[in-house]
Amino acid sequence: MTLEERRAKILINKAGGTAGPEGKSYRVVLPPVWAKQLGVMENSCDVILQFDGECITIRRAGTGEYHSFINEAREKKHDLLILHYYDGETLCTKICLDRTSRRLVIENETDDILSTAFGVNQTPNWEDFMTFLESRCIPRQRDGLKYYLAQLGIEKYDPMEIIRKTAGRMAEDSCWIKIVEG
């Protein structure tokens, strides 16, 4: 599929409801053909918005999002990494990273928000993932870090390599990460 690009204007309106007197709302009109291809209909109009500081991505929300994301990335032959986050023996969150597009999708397997990888955040971005990954590693500032990395056989601080060696296990909890694919 080729990338189609169109120029659009952002509509800026005075915000209503409980917004302050200076409140504004911002809207963009999508071409109907794009909305239709995205699967947006009157009875199914939920979408996921992601912002990486430069680009806004709009994708279809709903059941099967995790598997659709994987299938779409595989069709495009993108570099995928799939991780499972556990609390003890309980699978809590499935994480699929598309390292080519630097996007990810999660699927929580528990209703216990404290046991999920990203807490209440249902649409984490790449930076959220990197923060999560580092939270499952020895801190960068830890005294004796070089010795620790040498014991793991790692030359420089790389959270993904540390996770590969330690499964992200920490002394404070029973959570860990399994690399399923990638």
pLDDT tens-digit series, residues 101-123: 999 999 999 888 899 999 999 89
Task: Give dist(CA 64, CA 107) in Å, integer.
Answer: 9
What share of the chain in percent tops pLDDT 90?
58
Tell me the sheet residues that pair with 175.
87
Residues 83 and 132 in one domain: yes
- Bridge partners of 49, per DSSP, are 58
Residue 38: half-sphere exposure toward Cβ, Cα within 13 Å = 21
Q: Kindly report the pTM of this predicted structure.
A: 0.66
The pLDDT of residue 155 is above 90: yes
In a domain, 75, yes or no: yes
Does residue 162 contact residue 154 with C-beta atoms inside 8 Å?
yes
Average pLDDT of span 136-145:
93
Same domain, 126 and 91: yes
pLDDT of 50 reads: 79
Confidence of residue 87 (pLDDT cuts 50, 70, 90): very high
- Of 113, 161, 169, nearest in space to 136 by CA: 169
Q: Within this chain, do residues 78 and 164 fall inside the same structural domain, yes or no?
A: yes
- 79/48 same-domain check: no
Q: Are residues 82 and 167 in the same domain?
A: yes
Structural domain contains residue 110: yes
Domain C-terminal end among 24, 42, 60: 60
What's the start-to-end Cα distance of the chain, in Å?
24
Query: How many CB atoms are closer than 10 A to CB 110?
Result: 13
Co-location of 143 and 80 in the same domain: yes
Q: Is the pLDDT of residue 41 over 80?
A: no
Q: What is the pLDDT of residue 5?
A: 86
At residue 62, the pLDDT reads: 55
**Any domain includes 81:** yes
pLDDT for 19: 79
Q: 89 and 36, same structural domain?
A: no
Residues 24 and 108 in one domain: no
Domain of residue 52, residue span: 11-60
Strand order in the sheet with 103-108: 103-108, 90-98, 80-87, 175-181
Mean pLDDT of 14-20: 81
Asked if residue 89 and residue 16 are part of one domain, the reply reads no
Q: Do 54 and 83 fall into the same domain? A: no
Asked whether residue 4 is assigned to any structural domain, the reply reads no
Residues 144 and 159 placed together within one structural domain of the fold: yes
| Number of domains comprising the chain | 2
Do residues 42 and 55 share a domain? yes
pLDDT band, residue 134 (cuts 50/70/90): very high
Torsion sign (Cα): 7, 34, 54, 101: negative
